[in-house]
Amino acid sequence: MKVSRRFKAVFWLLLGLFTFSLQDIAIKTVSGNYPVHEVIFTRCVFAIPVIMWLVAKSGGLHTLHSPRRGALIFRGLLLLLAYTSYFLAFPVMKLADIIALYATVPLFVTVLAGSVLGEKITLSRWGAVFMGFVGAMVMVQPGTSVFEVASLLPIFSALTYASAQILARRIGLRDSSAVMSFYQNLLYLVAAGVLAVLITAWGGEYTGHKSLIFLMRQWEMPGMRDFLLIAACGPIAALGMTMLGEAYRLEEANFIASFEYTGLIWGAMWGYLIWAEIPGVNSILGAGLIVGAGLLLLVFARGTHDVTADLREPV
């Protein structure tokens, strides 16, 4: 049962990362033309039908009335901060540098899993996390631009994302991943809508820092192609959010987080297939280290955390 649960969690995480990589293709294609709140708001609207269907399939719509609504809303807020700060680094930094700094997620998760959840962090897990982090550094080759002030954004994104997934591990023992996705999408929708109204009412154009320009740009009516690309992000995000939530719900957070590095592999693959970006020796070597780290965890990691204890603890 333990092995089956572990491999199921890894499967959902890997599939979730692949699904979110499809969203990256769409956003990269339309980036630079629309404010971030417009993209998020449109995406959330088109995610609603898929999320409601997932909630109905996973336990029924009545499960949305969770007694842990406060924790679910707080997790949604953390993820709102995580993804917004990640996107805001795009106009200022190279994508390779952003990914390299965001690759600190497993380190944050491992530290928080030990201190917050009481999970036992074995030496083999620390070694696998470090090996995956080295692979990430080799693969993306961060340059000197990481010292730009905006470099704090992907680090903050990694910290808030890690905190949200630690919380998912706690509340996920009682609420389904679809319910968590519903509250996450709700927070995105409300925040993006409020920001859009405020910026439209302001009616001005911000001309300062590039990250804030991306945040405070006025709403633009998209063409049909761009609209379809942004709308497609809705179902993609709904499925991706649910898959990642399910992964962290099923298995120890410090174990699952180490597989977050595999998202870099999809980025390199899409870069080659769509934008003709040829992966170099460092990319291949880094990918090998990332895959090797995951294999080491599957072979040597041993979970000792008593998940039933979480069921007895108040959230």
Give the tens place of pLDDT for each residue, 190-199: 999 999 899 8
- CA dist 195 and 215 (Å) reads 9
What is the pLDDT at residue 141? 66
User: Using N-to-C axis directions, what is the helix angle for 95-102 and 123-140, rounded to 10°?
Assistant: 170
Residue with tokens 């995951």: 294
Residue 313 maps to a domain:
no
Phi, psi of 92 (to 5 degrees): -110, -40
What is the pLDDT at residue 15? 92
What is the pLDDT at residue 53? 92
Residue 225 maps to a domain:
yes
Give the residue from 137, 150, 149 showing the smallest Cα distance to 96: 137
Range of the domain at 71: 7-305
Sign of CA dihedral 314, 185, 51, 13: negative
- CA dist 274 and 293 (Å) reads 28
Residue 231 maps to a domain:
yes
Residue 312 maps to a domain:
no
Helix ranges restricted to H, the chain:
2-30, 36-58, 69-88, 95-102, 105-112, 123-140, 152-171, 177-202, 210-216, 224-250, 253-257, 263-275, 281-300, 307-312
Give the tens place of pLDDT for each residue, 261-283: 777 777 777 777 887 767 677 76
Question: From residue 62, how far is each of 51, 132, 239, 300 by CA, in Å?
Answer: 14, 41, 20, 41
- CA dist 15 and 201 (Å) reads 40
Residue 136 maps to a domain:
yes
Task: Output the pTM of the full model.
Answer: 0.76
Measured between its terminal Cα atoms, the distance across the chain in Å is: 26
Q: Going residue by residue through the chain (315 aa), what tens digit of pLDDT does each one get?
A: 555 778 888 899 999 989 988 887 887 777 667 888 888 899 999 999 999 999 998 888 888 888 888 888 898 899 899 988 888 887 777 766 777 777 778 778 877 877 666 767 777 777 877 887 787 777 666 654 545 677 788 889 988 988 888 887 776 567 788 888 899 899 989 999 999 899 888 887 777 777 888 788 888 888 889 999 999 999 998 898 888 888 877 877 777 877 877 777 777 777 778 877 676 777 678 777 777 776 776 666 554 444 333 333 333
Q: State how far Cα 148 lies from the chain centre.
A: 23
Residue 314 maps to a domain:
no
Number of domains forming the structure of the chain? 1
308 C-beta neighbours (distance < 10 Å), count: 8
What type of residue sits at position 299? V
* Residue 134 CB contacts under 8 Å (≥ 6 apart), including other chains: 289
Residue 12 maps to a domain:
yes
- CA dist 182 and 156 (Å) reads 24
Residue 72 maps to a domain:
yes
